[in-house]
Amino acid sequence: MNVLTTIAQLREVVKTAKYNRQSIGLVPTMGYLHEGHLTLAAHARSENELVIMSIFVNPTQFGPNEDFESYPRDFPRDTELAKSAGVDYIFAPSVEEMYPHDGGITIRAGRQAHILCGATRPGHFDGVLQVVAKLFNLMQPDRAYFGQKDAQQVAIIQTMVRDYNFPVTIRVVPVIREEDGLAKSSRNIYLSAEERSQAPAIQQGLQLAKRELLESGSVESAISLAKKIIHDNTDGHVDYLMILSYPDLQEVDDQTDQIVVAAAVHIGETRLIDNLIFSLKGEIIHV
Ligand code: PAF
């Protein structure tokens, strides 16, 4: 496995792969890899001749008071893990390499970005789209792999791919969980032992909301039951807990086919997100 740090190096690799008609699978990450990322890499490995993983903590998707500086980083460990997952190349550019110019063109996410995480993280999804669009242009992947844990991110990226005609197929891989149900996340390491023991209540709340919605049909009672479970079992506070149509992220109505129940909860200093996607018949949907 090789590490590429410049766009020029990456372009050479992509040019050769295209010349040899090799399919390219892209696994975009911000590093500090966990099993969720490695599952994305395994899917990419099984479907593509060349697998490129980007490791780039993208500053444009962090707000001024967010954890860009302290976001966990461990490049030596990441390279070992990526290698063991069969990744062919890591692309790990510096911030200057990715963003050498100030004040240029940015991308603005649409309506799907105004709620859920977007409501408290203004500009976050614009930054995600900016870096993902750059990665798509640089790597020209046949397939790109994202985790369902970031369901809103996936929905917004799919909209960009549709609206801007990116010739890439988005593959979505189900949430990878700890044994007690907590969704794996690079940010889980911020949790103290006590906070970590409370965190599975988020998933329990979401499961309860799903059950209640399917049984009673009431969005309001599903939301309040889920919030109660989280309040009763954690010291955290719920940033949002919503039930929406997926992937358009609108209010649920008679026409809604797929549903997402999504939450963001602050436990201590750590903001955790999780979701379930299902149909009104109750089937879990891996989008
Ligand atoms: O999901 C992430 O880790 C990031 O948002 C992504 C897609 C790698 C863009 O920086």
Q: Which two tokens stand for residue 123?
A: 């500009």
The 10s digit of each residue's pLDDT in 146-165 is 999 999 999 999 999 999 99
Catalytic site includes residue 266:
no
Mean pLDDT for the stretch of residues 113-127: 96
Domain residue ranges of the chain, discontinuous segments joined by +: 2-173, 186-275
Mean pLDDT for the stretch of residues 123-144: 98
CA-closest residue to ligand 1 atom 7? 28
Return the CATH number of the domain spanning residue range 2-173.
Answer: 3.40.50.620
**Per CATH, is 186-275 categorized as 3.30.1300.10?**
yes
- With a cut of 90, say whether residue 254 has pLDDT above it: no
Q: How many Cα atoms are found within 13 Å in the side-chain-facing hemisphere of 67?
A: 11
Which residues sit in the known binding site for beta-alanine? Answer: 61
Mean pLDDT for the stretch of residues 125-142: 98
Q: Identify which of 52, 121, 153, 154 to mutate to test ligand 1's pocket (most ligand atoms within 8 A of the CB).
A: 153
Ligand 1 centre and the CA of 220: distance in Å? 32
Under 8 Å between Cβ of 219 and 213: yes
Ligand 1 centre and the CA of 219: distance in Å? 30
- pLDDT for residue 83: 98
Residue 151 near ligand 1, beta carbon < 6 Å: no
Q: Which two tokens stand for residue 22?
A: 């090799």
Q: Identify which of 71, 128, 184 to mutate to test ligand 1's pocket (most ligand atoms within 8 A of the CB).
A: 128
Judged on CB neighbours under 10 Å (0-12, 13-18, 19+), 9 is middle
CA-wise closest residue to 250 among 155, 165, 163 = 155
- pLDDT for residue 108: 96
Under 8 Å between Cβ of 175 and 193: no
Per the listing, tokens 């004040």 go with 103
CA-wise closest residue to 124 among 7, 275, 271, 286 = 271
CA-closest residue to ligand 1 atom 2? 29
**Binning pLDDT at 50, 70 and 90, where does residue 186 land?**
confident
- pLDDT for residue 285: 67
Residue 30 near ligand 1, beta carbon < 6 Å: yes
Residue 53 near ligand 1, beta carbon < 6 Å: no
- With a CB cutoff of 8 Å and minimum separation 6, the contacts of 68 are 57, 59, 62
Mean pLDDT for the stretch of residues 251-259: 92
- With a cut of 70, say whether residue 282 has pLDDT above it: no
Mean pLDDT for the stretch of residues 101-130: 96
- pLDDT for residue 281: 73
Residue 57 near ligand 1, beta carbon < 6 Å: no
Q: Identify which of 61, 73, 99 to mutate to test ligand 1's pocket (most ligand atoms within 8 A of the CB).
A: 61
Q: Helix axis angle, 75-84 relative to 35-47, nearest 10°?
A: 40
What percent of the chain has pLDDT above 90? 94
pTM metric for this prediction: 0.94
3-state secondary structure 115-180: CCHHHHCCCHHHHHHHHHHHHHHHHCCCEEEEEHHHHHHHHHHHHHHHHCCCCCEEEEECCCECCC
CA-closest residue to ligand 1 atom 1? 29
Mean pLDDT for the stretch of residues 176-196: 95
The 10s digit of each residue's pLDDT in 51-69 is 999 999 999 999 998 989 9
Ligand 1 centre and the CA of 33: distance in Å? 12
